[in-house]
Structure 1
Amino acid sequence: MEIKYVFIFFIVTCLHYASTRKTQATPEFDLLIFTQQWPATACKEWKKNDSTHTCVMPKNVDTWTIHGIWPTKLGTMGPAFCNRTWLFDPEKIRPIEIQLNQVWINIFGGTSLYSLWAHEWNKHGTCAAVLEPLNSELKYFSLGIDWLQKFSMNNILQSGNIVPSSTNAYSVVEINNAIKAKLGVDPAIECKKENGESYLSEIRICFTKDFKITNCDGIVSRKVFDYHSILTNCNTSKKILYPHYKDSKEGSIYVQLYKLVSWVQWFTL
């Protein structure tokens, strides 16, 4: 009789474990956040952390690049790292690597060429992969390229007469209005702050799980500029700087040398 009960307990335990594993393997999220970053500000922040840091810039230094595609639940963060055994494989993105090196570039000099892509896939891509159109590295990163072509902040901001400048600055309202006039949805506008100034850093637009553009309302860690219902962490009492990149030499031969060294490092670790 005791053996029978032990057997039943064993079966129930196994079924509970299997059920728990199944739940953990199916991440829940509401939106996909497509984040574009402004390289000049990303580089400025990188160098601020350490004066010896260098930056690897795209060929056109005054162009928005991709940071990531992030599955997210409204009102919370994540999910993240949904399959820790499905690690980024550089061979999977070979067909689009040349494009990625321009539009989804790792700006942080001295780090591995593949470190940004590996981080984005391991943390976010493995969660997005529950959607069939994103269930591989190639599909995930290809969608980023496609979205950048369709929703480039270079074109969107320029349509509202907002362009990189060493002298002009813009209010968060002007930036938000330019985006909303073009896309018809609420974005999230991110700044990096230094010495009381806000530097335009990232712009995030949101998509439903069937890939329709939608409002970013409800995503976390954004303050709301109540008067205009703008999602932003920028200083709304002052205008925002949208700077040019100044040190153009880092976008030339040093980039090629960095890529070669990083490639060797990745495969010899």
Structure 2
Amino acid sequence: MKTKATYFLFFALLVSNITYCTAQNSSGFHHFWLVQVWPFGYCLEVNCARNVTWFVLHGLWPVNAYEQTLPGTNKPDPGILASLEHDESLWDDLKKYWLSLSTRDGDRLKYFWPYQWRVHGSAQRRVKPPDYFRRAVELTKFTDLLNTLNRAGIMENGNIYRKVEFRKAIKAKTGYDPILSCVFSDGRYQLKEVTICVDADATNFIPCNPNKISRESCRNNIKFPAPSPTK
């Protein structure tokens, strides 16, 4: 009897430990989201200060295995800005591909990237700045979303296209289905954001969790909003 009780106690502890480890792993860093916004959909919800006629980075966000974003440490790192400014090529790329749409102020803009690290990038320890920023830009330049969609016949002209067409075009470039995000405006679901899943080293594309894709905010028909007049 004592032996049986000891066995059950051991088994319960083993199951408890496995459950705990699984929970820990699922809540910790697993991979990244490469999130890019189409300004003319994004700015339907947000008051934008500038017009940019290409997809821009919203961020490279650490997520767990269930595609849940992880909070950064929120601790400032005064060395980040200096390291970015020191790399002239990277600095120029950031000002084109990863800029804030909410300000034109150059002094405010340069603190935008340390902020991105503080609230997002610092949630993981695997890729440190400036590589974190460099790899995000390289992946964005490779995906070249606007030209990728244009080559598939999906034009930024305010027309309606099927969601499967957007998905097929982006998958042809990255190898995997993206997560599409839309804003509902003027009676239409309009493209706002494209999220592509990237491995923990921020170097290769990987499949996103199918459950996250199935819950995306876009419907079967998506409007690709046209650029608005320059502000």
Structure 1 length-normalised TM: 0.66
Spell out the pairing of 1:1-269 with structure 2 (5 A cutoff): 28-47=28-47, 54-57=48-51, 61-75=52-66, 77-82=68-73, 84-86=75-77, 89-94=80-85, 95=87, 96-109=90-103, 112-114=108-110, 116-128=112-124, 130-131=125-126, 134-136=127-129, 138-166=130-158, 168-210=159-201, 211-218=203-210, 222=212, 224=214, 232-236=216-220, 239-248=221-230, 250=231
Question: Aligned to 2:42, what secondary structure does the other structure show?
Answer: helix
Aligned-residue CA RMSD (Å): 2.5
Structure 2: where are the runs of 5+ without partners? 1-23
Are residues 232 and 87 of structure 1, via their aligned partners in 2, closer, same or farther at CA, if it must alter by over 3 Å? farther
Q: Which has the higher contact order (CA 8 A, sep 6+)?
A: 2
Q: Distance in 2 between matches of 1:196 and 1:87?
A: 46
Contact 1:70–1:125 (Cα < 8 Å) also in 2: yes
- Structure 1 stretches of 5 or more lacking a match? 1-23, 48-53, 225-230, 251-269
Deviating above 6 A after TM superposition, structure 1's stretches of 4 or more consecutive aligned residues are none
Aligned 8 A contact 1:180 1:187 in 2: yes
The Cα offsets for residues 62-119 of structure 1, whole Å up to 9 and x where unpaired, read as: 2111111111112252321136254674222112322211111110137731454233
Amino acid at match of 1:102: K
State the AA in 1 paired with 2:216: T
Question: Deviation string for 1:225-265 (max 9, x for gaps)?
Answer: xxxxxx621133xx2111122121x3xxxxxxxxxxxxxxx
Aligned pairs, number: 200
In structure 1, how many angstroms separate the alpha carbons of the residues matched to 2:193 and 2:30? 21
Give the conservation status (yes or no) of the 8 Å contact 2:50–2:102.
Answer: yes
Identity of aligned residues (%): 24
Cα distance, 1:194 vs. partner? 1.9
* Normalised TM-score (structure 2): 0.76
